[in-house]
Amino acid sequence: MTLILIAIISAGGQAVCDADSDWFYLPASLVSDPASMNRPTLSPALLILSCTGAGRADLDSLIFIADSMKVVLAACHASRNHRSANLNDADIMKTAEKLLTQYPVDASRVYIYGFSGQGVQAMMALFMHPDIFQGLISACGHAGAVSLAPWQKLSSDRKSIYLISRKKDWNLEQNHYLHDLFRANNVRDTLVILKGKHSPPPAEEIFKACQWLVKQDF
């Protein structure tokens, strides 16, 4: 893939934007280690979705998570609301392939995050590609993708799902339903309910979610 922009940001971390307008961020600790691409101990990764197409701003808001937890970030630009879910999924998988082949990522610890409609898209990605994604963070999403869930595999492979909703979120009851459904099917999950209306969670909550996801795999 031809790189069209490389920027050094944060405390020595490296952000890269490619020809598909996908952004990737390599934490400072990995940039400083020239052998990081080949070392046996690889890093977890978080693939970020956005309702309008994930970009540099989405990456920047979570860089402190990447640096503090040694997590590689990827932002899928093509996936967005008001677009075919199948087209979105194809582009998400394209981004995931680049993440896994071009960065020092532990293939058993790749997670995906989305808000609202892209939270549902993130669920769809986990359900359709459980061999790629180990878990997800869905913020203010709904249950629109559950018909795709491979319940036995989600349980046997110990997938992890972090649900976020809000007290006045129009999808609050959907999140309670999802939480009960995951528990009934022996899928590890947790539900966090924040104050306010349907809106993206603060970065600090995504940090807690990433900590929870990574902890489940140890």
Query: What is the number of other CB atoms lying within 10 angstroms of the CB of residue 186?
Result: 12
**Phi and psi (nearest 5°) for 65?**
-70, -45
What tokens does 76 get?
A: 């899928």
**Using one digit for the tens of pLDDT, what is the confidence trace for 85-121?**
999 999 999 999 999 999 999 999 999 999 999 999 9
Spatial separation of the C-alpha atoms in residues 120 and 114, rounded to whole Å: 7
What would the two tokens of residue 187 be? 């899928």
Q: What is the mean pLDDT of the chain?
A: 92
**What is the percent of the chain with per-residue pLDDT over 90, rounded to a whole number?**
86
Residues 166-177, mean pLDDT to the nearest whole number: 98
Work out the angle between the directed axes of helices 85-102 and 117-128 (0-180°, nearest 10).
70
- In the prediction, which pLDDT does 169 show? 98
Please report the pLDDT score of residue 30 as a whole number: 84
pLDDT of the residue at 64: 95
Torsions phi, psi for 93 (to 5 deg): -70, -30
Helix or strand holding residue 193 (H, E): strand 188-197
Q: What is the pLDDT of residue 31?
A: 79
At 34-70, the pLDDT tens digits run: 555 555 568 999 999 999 999 999 999 999 999 999 9
Mean pLDDT of 188-214: 97
Residue 1 pLDDT? 39
CATH 3.40.50.1820 fits 3-31+41-216, yes or no: yes
Q: Please give the model's pTM, rounded to 2 decimal places.
A: 0.92
Rounded distance between C-alpha atoms, residue 10 and residue 67, angstroms = 8
Secondary structure letter of residue 40 according to DSSP: S
Q: What is the mean pLDDT of residues 144-171?
A: 98
Where helices occur in 103-202 by DSSP H, the ranges are 117-128, 151-156, 172-184
CA nearest neighbour of 72 among 99, 112, 41, 91: 99
Give me the pLDDT at residue 12, please: 75
Q: Which residues lie closer than 8 Å to 24 by C-beta, 6 or more apart?
A: 15, 16, 17, 18, 72, 73, 74, 75, 98, 99, 102, 103
Tell me how far apart the alpha carbons of residues 208 and 212 are, in angstroms, rounded to a whole number: 6
CB 54 within 8 A of CB 48: yes
Close Cβ partners of 35 (under 8 Å, ≥ 6 residues apart): none
